[in-house]
Chains A and B, each alone.
Chain A
Amino acid sequence: MGKKKKRVSSKVWCYYCDREFDDEKILVQHQKAKHFKCHVCHKKLSTAGGMAIHVLQVHKESVTKVPNAKPGRESTDIEIYGMQGIPPDVLAAHYGEDEEEAPSKAAKVDIPSTQLVGGLVPGPLGVGYPPQSTLGAVPPVYSAAVPVPPTGWAVPPRPQPWFPQHPAVSVPPSAPMGYVQQPLFPVQGVRPTLPVVSTSTALQPSQIAPPGLPTSTPPLPVSQPLFPVVNNNVPTQSSPFSTSLPTSVQPSTTAEVKGSIEVHSSVNTSVPGSYHAANISGGAGANSHSYASGPNTGGPSIGPPPVIANKAPATQPAVNEVYLVWDDEAMSMEERRMSLAKYQVHDETSQIQLFTHCYPFDEMSSIDAAIDRRILESRLAGRMAF
C-alpha cells in the first residue's frame, strides 16, 4: 500500500549485515549477539575489535573477520557500535539504495533480463527475499512482477545478510549455474514448474534434495509468510534454464535469479547448501535470525493459535528478530552452570545448612515430635476461616 520509502531508511540498520531494526537498542543487542560474540566461549563483547582482542588474549586465536558479516563489511578494524562509526560513504550508499529502486526499476527492466520479470518472481524471489531484487536487474523485475510496491521488498525482508549491497551481484552469470537451481526449488509454488523447466538436468532433482527445502516441510513454511511474492509468474519459458542459461535470453532470467541466489549462498557460508541453511532457521541457532518467531508461529502444522481464555497474551511486537534470553544451542543452562568452578569442587567440607528445624520421620513416634505436630496442626486449623 503506501509505505513511504523514506520511512524505511530512517530505521537503524546494522553495518555488518544490513539488517534493519526498529530502534538502536535492539540493533546493539543484535550486533552483540551476532557479530561481537566470541565463537569459542560465546561471550558477548561490545565491539568487533574488542571481540578480536578477547579471542586473541583468552583463546590465543586470531580473528580477522567479523562473524555473520557481509563481504566488504568484515573488517574488525572499523569501530562500530549501533549506528555509530559507520563510514559516511557506506551510510550514503545505504540510504541511496532506497531511493534508487523506483527509478532503477524502469531502467533495469530493459536489461536482457526481461524475462526476469516473469522468471524472477517465481521461485528465487519468493524464497530469495527481496534483497535479491536489488541485485542487478532483479529489483525492478521483482517490483514489476510482484504487486509489492518498490518499498515493499525493503520492508518485509528481514535484512538478509545477502542484501543488495552485495558487490558480488554481478557475478551471477556463469558461476552460479550449478547452484542456481537450488533456490528455485524451495519455493513451493514453483515446484510444479520445475520439472517442466529442466527435464534434462539431473541437477534439478539432486540439487533439490540437498537443500532439502522442499522436502522438509517445517523449514519451508518459514520463508513463505515473510515474502509476499508468490510464484504467480512462474516463467514456463525458462525451461531450458539448466543448460544454456548464460547465453539465451530465457535462461538469463533464471541465471540472474539463480546467480543472485548463489551469491547469497556464497556470501553466507560459501557452501552450495548454504542457501538451504540460511532459509531454514533451523537447529543450528546460527540462523536464529528473525525467522525464529515470525515464520515459526504456526510450526510445521499450523492449527489455530491458542486462544487466551482470560488474559490477552503479550502481543507480539512487529519485531523481526527475537532475542533469546538463553541463546546457546550448544549447551544447556545446567551445563554452563556446571562449568563454574564452585560447582565442580567435590564438596565435602562446606558447611551447608541443613534444615534447622526438622521433623524427621523416625522421630515421629517420639512425644515431643508429636506435640510439635499437634501444635502446628492446630495453628493451621485456627487459621481456617469457617
Chain B
Amino acid sequence: MSNFLTATTLGNPNPNKSFEVSEPPNDSVSSLSFSPKANFLVATSWDNQVRCWEIMRNGVNVASMPKASIMHDQPVLCSTWKDDGMTVFSGGCDKQVKMWPLMSGGQPMTVAVHDAPISEMAWIPEMSLLVTGSWDKTLKYWDTRQSNPVHVQQLPERCYALTVKHPLMVVGTADRNLIVFNLQNPQTEYKRIVSPLKYQTRCVAAFPDLQGFLVGSIEGRVGVHHLDDQQQSKNFTFKCHREGSETYSVNSLNFHPVHHTFATAGSDGAFNFWDKDSKQRLKAMSRCSQPIPCSTFNSDGSIFAYSVCYDWSKGAENHNPATAKTYIFLHLPQESEVKSKPRIGTSGRK
C-alpha cells in the first residue's frame, strides 16, 4: 500500500517501520529528550520550537499525543529534563536557556545566557545545577534561582558535545579537544586529551559504569576510550556509518539505560546497536532516506526515539525548504538488538 508512496518519494524515510510521532516540527530536529520519570518526549527544532508529546505504549502499539510547545526567538539546539520529570530546559541560537515547568502547566522563563549559541546542556541532579556549553567557548553552571552562573569554566574551543554521568563529565570541543571533569571538583579539568579520532568531534557519551566514554566524529568512526591509564589497552575505535567511499558523520551516541549497550545514529540515515564489551554490532537497522541528527532512549530503554531530517551534512545547497520533511520515529528495541551477547566464535567452538 505504501509502495507507491516510496516510489514517488526518494527513498523510504521509514524503512524500519518505526512508529511515526504525530505533528513533527516544521524544520529539522536538533535534539530529542525523554523525561526520566515518564514517557514524555521533548524535541527541539530549527523552527524555533520546543515540543512535547506524551508517548503511550501498549505492547507493540505506540501512540503519541502532542501536549504542549513553547517558542524561542531563534533555532533551539539542545534540551534536557530536570530529574523530577516536571521541567524541561531548552537552549539554542538565541543564546538563552528557558526553563519550562511544563508538567505543571507553567510558563517558560529564561534562566541562563551565553555570548554565543548554546550547543549542549545537561542537568546534574547530584548538584542541582544545569550545565550549559556554548560556542562562546565556555561551560556555565547555573542554579536556576540565580541569574548569574555559579561557575564559568573556560574551554579551549567551542563546545560541540557534552555528556554527564555524575561525577563524570566529558566535553568535546572544536579542534578535537576532549576535556574530562570530575564533578566533585568542577573547577579543575581532570584531564584534557586530544580525541583518538582524527576528525572533528561530533558527539560523546559517558559509560554508565563511568570507566570511560565514547566519542563519535564526522568521519564515521567511534572511539571507545577509558579514563584509567591501566585500561588504555582496552581503548579502540571502529568505523561505522559508511557506504562505499562515502563516510558519514556519527551524530548521536546513546547508551541503553539497562543493558549498557549503545546505539549510534549517523548522517547516512542509519542507526545501529553495538556492544562495546564484546566488540560487536548487535543490530544494523535499515537506512532512512535522510540523516538522523539526534536520537535517545527513554528512561527504561524500551523506546528508542530518533529523528529523520536534514542535518546539513551536505551543506545548504542540498536543503530545499519547500520539500524538506522532518520525522520523529519511535523504535521499540527487541532484546536481541540491545542485550549484550558473548562474542561469536570465542565460545562454543569445539
A residues with a Cβ closer than 8 A to B are: 26, 218, 281-283, 285, 288, 291-293, 296-311, 313-314, 316-317, 319, 321-338, 340, 343-348, 352-362, 373, 376-377, 379-381, 383-385
Contact = CB atoms under 8 A, between A and B. Distances in A.
15 contacts: A299-B235, A305-B238, A307-B280, A308-B284, A322-B242, A324-B249, A325-B246, A336-B316, A338-B93, A355-B67, A358-B68, A360-B68, A361-B102, A384-B58, A384-B59
A257 B184 CA distance: 53
Nearest to A296: B198
B199 A306 contact: no
Contacts of B218: 324, 326-327
A380 B314 CA distance: 39
The 8 closest A-B pairs by CB, nearest first: A299-B237, A362-B105, A303-B236, A355-B66, A333-B312, A326-B313, A337-B312, A322-B247
A361 B67 contact: yes
Contacts of A303: 234-236, 279
B223 A333 contact: no
B249 A326 contact: yes
B242 A352 contact: no
Contact of A309 (B63, B68, B117, B341): B341
B199 A301 contact: no
A301 B235 contact: yes
Given A309-B281, A314-B243, A359-B66, A343 B74 contact: yes
Interface in B220-247: 220-221, 223, 232-240, 242-247
Contacts of B235: 299-301, 303
Contacts of A306: 238, 274, 279-281
Nearest to A303: B236
A317 B244 contact: yes
B267 A301 contact: no
A354 B51 CA distance: 9
A46 to B, nearest CB: 13
A303 to B, nearest CB: 4
Contacts of B73: 346-348
Interface string B156-190: 00101000000000000011100000000000000
Interface range on chain B (Cβ under 8 Å from partner)? 35 or more
Interface of B: 23, 26, 30, 46-49, 51, 54, 56, 58-59, 61, 63, 65-69, 71, 73-75, 77, 93-94, 102-105, 117, 119, 135, 158, 160, 174-176, 194-200, 202, 218-221, 223, 232-240, 242-249, 267-268, 274, 278-284, 311-316, 341, 343-345
A103 to B, nearest CB: 35
A332 B316 contact: no
A329 to B, nearest CB: 5
Contact of A338 (B117, B237, B280, B313): B117
B249 A357 contact: no
B228 to A, nearest CB: 13
Given A218-B196, A333-B313, A360-B67, A322 B245 contact: yes
Contacts of B117: 334, 338
Given A355-B69, A384-B59, A307 B160 contact: no
Given A306-B280, A309-B344, A322-B247, A361 B68 contact: yes
Contacts of B49: 352, 354
A380 B344 CA distance: 40
Given A296-B198, A299-B236, A324-B199, 20 more contacts: A293-B239, A303-B236, A305-B279, A307-B343, A311-B283, A314-B242, A319-B245, A325-B313, A326-B249, A327-B218, A328-B200, A330-B174, A346-B74, A347-B74, A352-B49, A359-B54, A360-B68, A361-B103, A362-B105, A380-B63
A150 B345 CA distance: 40
Nearest to B314: A325
Nearest to B200: A329
A324 B316 CA distance: 16
Given A299-B196, A309-B283, A334-B312, A325 B249 contact: yes
Nearest to B135: A335
A298 B236 contact: yes
B66 A313 contact: no
Contact of A347 (B30, B48, B63): B48
Contacts of B93: 338, 343-344
A283 B196 contact: no
A352 B47 contact: yes
Contacts of B236: 298-299, 301-303
A360 B46 CA distance: 22
Contacts of A335: 135, 158
Given A283-B194, A296-B237, A338-B117, A301 B283 contact: no
B283 A310 contact: yes
A386 to B, nearest CB: 9
A310 B282 CA distance: 7
Given A301-B236, A338-B117, A332 B284 contact: no
Nearest to B57: A380
Contacts of B313: 325-326, 333
A307 B105 CA distance: 48
Contacts of A282: 198
Given A357-B23, A357-B66, A360-B67, A343 B232 contact: no
A379 B197 CA distance: 49
A323 B66 contact: no
Contacts of B176: 283
A377 B56 contact: yes
Contacts of A356: 23
A310 B284 contact: yes
A345 B93 CA distance: 10
